[in-house]
Structure 1
Amino acid sequence: MLDLLNPVILSVLTLVVLSLLRVNVVIALLIAAVVGGLTGGLSLEGTFDTMIEGLGGQGETALSYILLGTLAVMVARSGLTRKLIRRVMPLLRGPRAVVLFAIAGLACFSQNLVPVHIAFIPILIPPLLAAFDRMKIDRRGVAVALTFGLKAPYLIVPLGFGLIFQGIIVDSMEDHGMEISLGQIPLAMAFPVAAMAVGLSFAILVTYRKNREYEPGKPLAGTDGSPLELLDSQEELRWTRQDVAVLLGLAVTLVLQLVYGSLVMAALAGVVVIFLLRGERWTDGDPIVDRGVGMMGTIAFIMLVASGYATVLTETGSVDDLVSSAAGWIGDSQILAAVVMMAVGLLVTMGIGTSFGTVPVLAAIFVPLAAAVGFSPLATAALIGSAGALGDAGAPASDSTLGPTSGLNADGQHHHIWDTCVPTFLHYNVLIFAGGIVAALVL
């Protein structure tokens, strides 16, 4: 029988409840880690030691967030922000639904065509808040659109991050005795992605179609004015050396990210290029970095703590115990097997915080189990891929939610849990859950 007192279940429920009660995410993660560690057999001291040892697991991601924040501040300090606002605003005069679908489509390119993942959000989205506010767009709809673009492509398109994710599914299944080709994975993931598309459409056309007003006058991170003030400014926008230097810095960042696959290296190079080209003075480095840390530091620190939290859950062995207990409870029922596998995937992903890292954990038990109850390799891939992706959209410490929040909260008017995590969880994870089950039973 599924152990409802498993440390993973208790810890994840603690994290979710505290987050919904608006407890700071960092504090919620720390308390949830203590719950997971103590119920998993670790001492209090051992729990914190394990968590601290695991902080480095997301060190590169956290550092890249800080450097992206610094780069975003440089963009905001230049004239590029105003130029972008002036250029984009005439294009955003159509129906709000069209704008939100366009944002989702643009975000999709960040996973394959130009695989920069969330790097574009803190640079592109803050300037667009002016247009969103003028159109009275509900930013929760924008969060849902961005998260669709950050998740759906890697589930179904075998390019960029999708090639990595789908390759992990293939390798994990083959490691445990079930053969499947990479070309079959998109078909296996078609049902979950279609479910996500339904969730996106419902969010845009129904849930968040009404006007939502935001407080005017809130300064945009890195600038001294609110989005609407920047939009309404009559200042003549000429190209300056600073604008050109910042634009070249962004180009260098993009190219190096594509060539080397290191966002830290790429963002640092972009920042250095801007300084070398005198887009910013070296003596202004302190206030620029301070603003960058203020913009992205909290999110970077959340990623570090989330890494330590995942290490605690892994160290206790509770994740393996949860998967094993689920396997013993299923019997030979395909429907029950599909439901339990998806539920375990949701819990594990909410705890570990990464769909990419969840797949190998689930495959170890779920591949033999799927074979035992008669699932085909295609159905098994659909279950493992969907279960691995579950939770990523609504997890408080996932980059699929932290990324949208980093851009939409640039003026302090977007709550991470209630405006990003809850909307994305309701519109995606519930439907992915159903889509994965349907795929398993049909394929």
Structure 2
Amino acid sequence: MKKDWTRREFLKAGSVAVAGALAGVPGRVLADEDGRPIRIGLVGCGSRGTGAVEDALAADPNVHVVALADLFVDRARSCLRYLRTLRLGRELHPGVRVHEDRCFVGFEAYRRLLDVPLDVVLLATPPGFRPIHFEAAVAAEKHVFIEKPVAVDPAGVRRVYLAGEKARERGLSVVAGTQRRHHSGYLETVRRIREGAIGRILGARCFWNQGGLWHRKREAGWSDMEWQVRNWLYFDWLSGDHIVEQHVHNLDVVNWVLGSVPLRAVGSGGREVRTDPVFGNIYDHFAVDFEYPGGIHVLSMCRQMEGTDGAVGELVTGTEGRADPGGWIDGARPWRFEGEVPNPYVAEHAALLASIRRGEPANEARQVAEATMTAILGRHAAYTGEVVEWDALLASDLDFSPPRYEFGDLPVRSVPIPGRS
């Protein structure tokens, strides 16, 4: 029987319930009484993956990093070199236990890593690979830290959603890299908003506007595949475009505050500054109007252009005030968050590891899949220039996957043109 891919299907299990379940998890967790370390492996040895390992080591004093996997040998080696410099006090960190024979390279490296005895897999490759790796990790019965976004197209979102259900059935923990869900200021402010601190919510704005990012010059001998993966930010099948790769954080907060996902979206966007072919086929700006249940509209903006105003955040307006979900409320009941804010990048790993030690599985797969799909909805609205319905897009056959995962020729899709795409 075909799965009913609708908003109702996404929401029926209560996507916002998990957010509060881990609110009491401290910034660090205690080791098992028997002293058994939690063994972790990393898939994706770039800066985010390397940082995720460092955060996990900071979150729990009894974690061992035992295996690394990456498409490229230079990335795996640089990650290992860095990890071997980490210190705990005056000594080299005892949690770094990776031997060279457990550094795996290539398109199948993740499978070889999953054959290693370990408990947790950190998934931090470019997002286009995420659904494949998540499915494999769950099938191997590993707990998972899954970086955002978790897919780049509806086909990938569906795969993550189903794998997340399997993880739940098997008692596996899944925690996502949407760190605002583990930020004490956000946790308390969102709780107050949802309890009526600004009255009935009328609408919201969210934005991630900044300058440009890095790119790597193509080297002699690089195939199309290697060039694109090493410059993954700029190709739709790898990053999903920056509205998906980056702005997903803000859209996740909006979904969290509203307790829902959007019904539909209409938007615009384009490629005004980053027009050189080195920047692949993505846009450099988006503006999207998301419509949520109850007639609530959310204005979303994101931009990556040098020399422009930078702003990152969310604002929610209600009948009795307005709020920044990150820490303040103005209006009938003004309030400011003044508590401590443990590093949320560490706190998300503390939540994952604590859930494993307590035998109380956490599962954030659904909520991060919703956030990813929300961003994909906005992107598709801008790419096409049409009003795009959530249900129709989620059920569609839109799939950015390359025909083969191998080094070689890989033509770049044309930059989308609204009205023609």
TM range (shorter): under 0.3
TM-score by length of 1: 0.24
Greater fraction helix = 1
Q: Which has the higher contact order (CA 8 A, sep 6+)?
A: 1
Larger Rg: 1
